[in-house]
Amino acid sequence: MNKEEKHELVASLAEQMKEYGNFYITDTANLTVAKVNHIRRQCFESDITMQVAKNSLIKKAMETIGGDFSPMYDVLKGSSSILFSKSSTAPAKLIKKLRKKGEKPILKAAYIDASIFVGDNQLDTLINLKSKEQLVGEIIGLLQSPAKNVISALQSGGNILAGVVKTLQERG
């Protein structure tokens, strides 16, 4: 691979990192071609893009887009594959599913909405993460709940409330 091809690959990786906003770095070393192809097929079916790249090029792509990726630099050893996805949890779920049949891929690190998770022990945490949309929906639901309760109470006690208002008006 010449310098120009390396620059193109770094630019492509950096663009994907920006576009997707979520990426996982995994260890797929020592897997057979058939197993890697199976993983690629599973990624495709789950709307995940998988790319194998040299660690130095992955690091350069991270440096290109800016931000503090330094906690991830230590895991860039050995063979690395990057999984890109719009969903923050889809790659984690896929890795967990694939691990039922074998010991790889192993999660090295993940970058999710400006948060960095390092180590395979973070897999369950990543599976249980909620997306921004889910969190916003829950907050809206919580904010609407008290208002709905007040409206419901007013509607159910409408006749009583009207009677109380009428009584107060007659006294005054």
Position 79 scores a pLDDT of 85
Q: How far apart are alpha carbons 46 and 75 in whole angstroms? A: 25
Position 1 scores a pLDDT of 75
> In this structure, are residues 90 and 47 in contact, taking their beta carbons and an 8 Å threshold?
yes
Position 154 scores a pLDDT of 61
Quote the pTM value: 0.74
**Residue of 88, 99, 160 lying closest to 129 (CA atoms):** 88
Q: Helix (H, G, I), strand (E, B), or coil: what is residue 27? A: strand
**Residue of 105, 95, 80, 84 lying closest to 125 (CA atoms):** 95
Span 19-32, pLDDT tens digits: 988 899 999 888 88
Reported confidence tier of residue 110, pLDDT bands at 50, 70, 90: very high
The backbone region for 72, taken as left when phi is positive above 0, alpha when psi lies in -120 to 50, beta otherwise, is alpha
Span 118-165, pLDDT tens digits: 988 888 888 887 777 777 777 887 777 776 766 666 666 556 666 667
The proportion of the chain whose per-residue pLDDT surpasses 90, expressed as a percent, equals 31
Q: Where do the domains of the chain lie?
A: 3-127, 132-171
Position 16 scores a pLDDT of 92
Residues 3-15 have a mean pLDDT of 90
Position 158 scores a pLDDT of 57
Position 48 scores a pLDDT of 92
Reported confidence tier of residue 44, pLDDT bands at 50, 70, 90: very high
Q: How far apart are alpha carbons 124 and 114 in whole angstroms? A: 19
Position 2 scores a pLDDT of 84
> In this structure, are residues 95 and 123 in contact, taking their beta carbons and an 8 Å threshold?
yes
Q: Determine which of 7-21, 72-86, 148-162 has the lowest per-residue pLDDT on average.
A: 148-162
Give yes or no for residue 84 having a pLDDT over 90. yes
Residues 103-115 have a mean pLDDT of 88
Q: What is the mean pLDDT of the chain?
A: 84
User: Does CATH place domain 3-127 in 3.30.70.1730?
Assistant: yes
Q: How far is CA 103 from CA 35, 54, 108, 136, in A?
A: 12, 22, 13, 36
